[in-house]
């Protein structure tokens, strides 16, 4: 029983990282139908920002987290402006290839400028382990879970309660109609990128703290997993992305703890395929049928 709870805690910590990343995928996909391949690399930028500011500018955790969110938001907006905006009306596969190009650019640019080696993330918060009825929980795990949940609630509030959030929802349903009623499409899309990228930045700092090591290619695999999480949850759906993230995190830790760690990625993809076959638009996605 304790191992189950232990794995549950580990799974939720990992899952909250995936969930934060998945939010960015789902929001961007919802609004411009683009799989933003570079999203995982924004997360890498966040981790590196945290690494440098903590090491060289001696930022504390909160400050590093918030500044990483701001910097990543800016990076997201700049990338959208230069790489995706010119392709707004191009075939979608073209925009996808551009996103892959941006991803390569960020990964290799970072490797070129700062070297490809793995670095140790500074221990800005000293790890303390608590023993709760035999289950080992670290303060960092709690911090990750709490921060992630706070951010998700905040995001949900922004989307549901603010004017900008309403604009985002409108553009994702019908950009042309949204424009007709006076919504500034470009600004709304920029805002979406800013919001999604800031979540990725936060996830980057949190993962640095959790795993202690960062490198320029760290965004690749979690990026793809987070996208899978967004698809499982129903791409375009914010609660879906959170749920998908936690599901994938839990699944991975479960498979690992059963001794099949070599197959943990395979299990994730298998579950993805099965869910899509049963629910072709994910758990919370709406399956839109074409009208004849």
Residues that bind other proteins (CB under 8 A): 29, 33, 35, 83, 86-87, 90-91, 93-98, 100-105, 107-109, 111-112, 116, 220, 224, 227-228, 231, 235, 262-263, 265-266, 268-270, 272-273, 276-277, 280-281, 290, 292
Q: Of the candidates 219, 63, 233, which has an alpha carbon nearest to the alpha carbon of residue 152?
A: 233
Q: Of the candidates 224, 208, 252, which has an alpha carbon nearest to the alpha carbon of residue 15?
A: 252
Q: Which is nearer to other proteins, 163 or 289 (CB)?
A: 289
Q: Which is nearer to other proteins, 116 or 153 (CB)?
A: 116
Q: Which is nearer to other proteins, 124 or 268 (CB)?
A: 268
Q: How far apart are the C-alpha atoms of 27 and 165, rounded to whole Å?
A: 11
Least CB distance to other proteins at residue 250 (A): 18
- State both tokens at 268: 């994730």
Q: Which is nearer to other proteins, 122 or 216 (CB)?
A: 216
Alpha helices in 33-60 (DSSP H): 39-56
Least CB distance to other proteins at residue 137 (A): 31
Least CB distance to other proteins at residue 111 (A): 6
148-152, Cβ contacts within 8 angstroms, sequence gap of 24 or more: 148/16, 148/17, 148/19, 148/20, 148/202, 148/203, 148/206, 149/16, 151/20, 151/199, 151/202, 152/19, 152/20, 152/23, 152/242
Least CB distance to other proteins at residue 153 (A): 28
Least CB distance to other proteins at residue 186 (A): 17
């Amino acid at each position: 029983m304790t191992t189950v709870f232990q794995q549950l805690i580990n799974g939720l910590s990992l899952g909250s990282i995936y969930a934060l990343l998945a939010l960015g995928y789902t929001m961007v996909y919802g609004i411009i139908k683009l799989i933003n391949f570079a999203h995982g690399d924004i997360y890498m930028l966040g981790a590196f920002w945290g690494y440098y500011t903590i090491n060289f500018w001696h930022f504390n955790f909160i400050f590093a987290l918030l500044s990483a969110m701001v910097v990543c938001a800016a990076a997201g907006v700049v990338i959208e402006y230069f790489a995706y905006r010119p392709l707004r009306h191009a075939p979608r596969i073209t925009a996808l290839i551009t996103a892959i190009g941006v991803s390569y650019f960020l990964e290799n640019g970072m490797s070129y400028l700062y070297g490809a080696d793995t670095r140790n993330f500074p221990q800005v918060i000293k790890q303390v382990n608590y023993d709760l009825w035999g289950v080992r929980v670290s303060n960092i795990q709690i911090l990750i879970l709490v921060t992630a949940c706070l951010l998700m609630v905040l995001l949900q509030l922004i989307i549901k309660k603010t004017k900008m959030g309403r604009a985002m929802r409108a553009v994702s349903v019908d950009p042309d109609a949204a424009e007709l009623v006076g919504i500034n499409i470009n600004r709304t899309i920029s805002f979406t990128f800013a919001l999604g990228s800031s979540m990725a930045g936060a996830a980057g700092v949190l993962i640095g703290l959790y795993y202690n090591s960062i490198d320029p290619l760290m965004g690749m695999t979690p990026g793809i997993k987070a996208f899978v999480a967004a698809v499982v949850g129903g791409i375009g759906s914010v609660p879906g992305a959170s749920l998908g993230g936690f599901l994938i995190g839990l699944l991975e830790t479960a498979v690992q703890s059963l001794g099949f760690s070599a197959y943990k990625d395979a299990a994730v993809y298998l579950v993805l395929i099965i869910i899509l076959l049963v629910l072709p638009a994910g758990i919370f996605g709406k399956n839109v049928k074409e009208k004849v």
